[in-house]
Amino acid sequence: MLHPFDDYPVHSTPEPILHVANESPNAYDRFFFNGFSPDGSLFFAVALGLYPNRQVIDGAFSIVRSGPSSGGNEGVQHNVRASGRCPADRTETEVGPLKVEIVEPMQTHRIKLSDEHGISADLTCRAASPAIEEPRFTHRVGGRIRMDYTRLTQFCSWQGWIELDGERIEIGADAGVVGVRDRSWGLRPVGDSIPGPRSMPQFYWLWAPTVFDDICTHFALNEEADGRPWHQSGAVVPRLADGEPGLDPGRVQRSTEARADVRWQPGTRWAGALTTRLQMWNAEPVEVTYEPIMNFYMSGVGYRHPEWGHGRWVGEQASTRDRIDPADVDPTSIVGLHVQALSRARYGDREGIGIVEQLIVGPHEPTGLTGALDGFGAADG
């Protein structure tokens, strides 16, 4: 099947550009965005993924408000979800009420959510840093590929509006709402499980993108059950001025090693405090400390959700709204395991705000975890 993009010299296989090179049902291509105010009173996230070999497209929009302006919804996470049949033309990045528009690659994106469930939005994401190409994620379990994908991370600033149950939230240029977007594509477990023997799951993941006034720092770490890292990466990038290019790899300072010290919250798999350390080439290490102030639950945008999980077939034109009240969340449940903790951050004299994403499943020898979902027994792990 031909596409207008086939007229460009961008092919990486002999096939037309819309033909997926890998026949695995776990092939995917995904957008993720989040945004947050400096005082933590507003947090929102967007996800949209295409799974061409499963013929599924899905997406979600979530919002959390805190503080006096939350209107009785203190900390409650409101989620709009949508799912449908993946279009043959995968440049059609729209599902149900949600649309992700690439206005200018690596520079400007627009998120539109029409009002089907009492939540609507029109938001513009502009590059606030150069895009960071992370090292390729390749993970084998028992000799078989479990993950093989590429991801980019880029910091951004937000403008626009969100309407929640009739209340309009204006996000102006002076509001200081910033965030992170990532784009990833390749193979990872999505949709219904592939048949075969089962073993105890194991996944240890920390991700800490952070915004300061003049720079942004990025940290990512995956470890095996014995604590050996199978993926580690980090970078320092400048905050961009208006008009500076979002694709400028020469301005990405990469780390040679990324490590973390974590103080865990008892009975959970959540970090109570975190220090990341990026070893830089011919430069002083970059050490950032984090103090979590609220959790965003990633199941709200599809991650590990039992019904609306990424790549699951829900229906031709399906959409819904639900909510997550943090008072009802079991930290060791499917909802509670995977979080992005909005956190105050410090790097030397700099004070900033960032995300500490955590997904820790199964055993992890350095922290004493032995089961699949058990929490840490002591504050120090």
Tally of CA atoms within 13 A in the half-sphere of 217 that contains its CB: 29
Residue-level pLDDT at 144 = 87
Q: How confident is the model at residue 379 (pLDDT cuts 50, 70, 90)?
A: very low
Classified as helix, coil or strand, 251 is: helix
**Length in residues, the chain:** 381
Tally of CA atoms within 13 A in the half-sphere of 65 that contains its CB: 14
pLDDT tens per residue, range 278-288: 999 989 999 99
Q: Could you tell me how far CA 109 lies from the centroid of its own chain?
A: 16
Percent with pLDDT over 70 in the chain = 97
Judge whether 179 and 342 are in contact, CB under 8 Å: no
Q: How confident is the model at residue 381 (pLDDT cuts 50, 70, 90)?
A: very low
Q: How confident is the model at residue 143 (pLDDT cuts 50, 70, 90)?
A: confident
**Distance from C-alpha of 245 to C-alpha of 18, rounded to nearest angstrom:** 28
pLDDT tens per residue, range 35-63: 999 999 999 999 999 999 999 999 999 99
How do the domains of the chain map onto residue ranges?
24-189+200-367
Tally of CA atoms within 13 A in the half-sphere of 16 that contains its CB: 12
Q: Which token pair is 112?
A: 């539109």
Classified as helix, coil or strand, 361 is: strand
Residue-level pLDDT at 70 = 58
What average pLDDT does the segment 175-193 reach? 94
Of 375 and 181, the one with more pLDDT:
181
**Distance from C-alpha of 87 to C-alpha of 93, rounded to nearest angstrom:** 9
Determine phi and psi for 328, rounding to 5 degrees: -100, 0
Judge whether 287 and 271 are in contact, CB under 8 Å: no
Q: Specify the range with the lowest mean pLDDT, choosing from 74-83, 208-217, 224-233, 371-380.
A: 371-380
Residue-level pLDDT at 380 = 43
Tally of CA atoms within 13 A in the half-sphere of 170 that contains its CB: 3
What average pLDDT does the segment 295-314 reach? 95
Torsion-angle region of 230 (φ positive above 0: left; ψ -120 to 50: alpha; else: beta): alpha
Closest CA to 260 of 303, 202, 329, 210: 210
Residue-level pLDDT at 373 = 84
At 108, the amino acid letter reads T
pLDDT tens per residue, range 65-112: 986 665 667 789 999 999 999 999 999 999 999 999 999 999 999 999
Determine phi and psi for 353, rounding to 5 degrees: -140, 145
Strand extents, DSSP E, 2-133: 27-36, 42-51, 56-65, 77-85, 94-95, 98-104, 108-113, 119-127, 132-133
Of 197 and 170, the one with more pLDDT:
170
Closest CA to 136 of 30, 220, 32: 220
pLDDT tens per residue, range 188-203: 999 888 777 777 889 9
pLDDT tens per residue, range 229-260: 999 999 999 999 988 999 999 999 999 999 99
Torsion-angle region of 270 (φ positive above 0: left; ψ -120 to 50: alpha; else: beta): beta
Judge whether 273 and 262 are in contact, CB under 8 Å: yes
SS3 of the chain: helix, strand, coil, percent, to 5: 5, 50, 40
Is the CATH number of domain 24-189+200-367 2.40.370.10?
Answer: yes
Residue-level pLDDT at 377 = 67
For 104-172, give the DSSP string. Answer: ETTTEEEEEE-SSSSEEEEEEEEE-S--EEPPPEEEEETTEEEEEEEEEEEEEEEEEEEEETTEEEEE-
pLDDT tens per residue, range 317-364: 999 999 999 999 999 888 899 999 999 999 999 999 999 999 999 999
DSSP state of 337: H
Pairing of strands 317-324, 77-85: antiparallel
At 381, the amino acid letter reads G
DSSP-assigned beta bridge partners for residue 352: 345
What average pLDDT does the segment 142-152 reach? 92
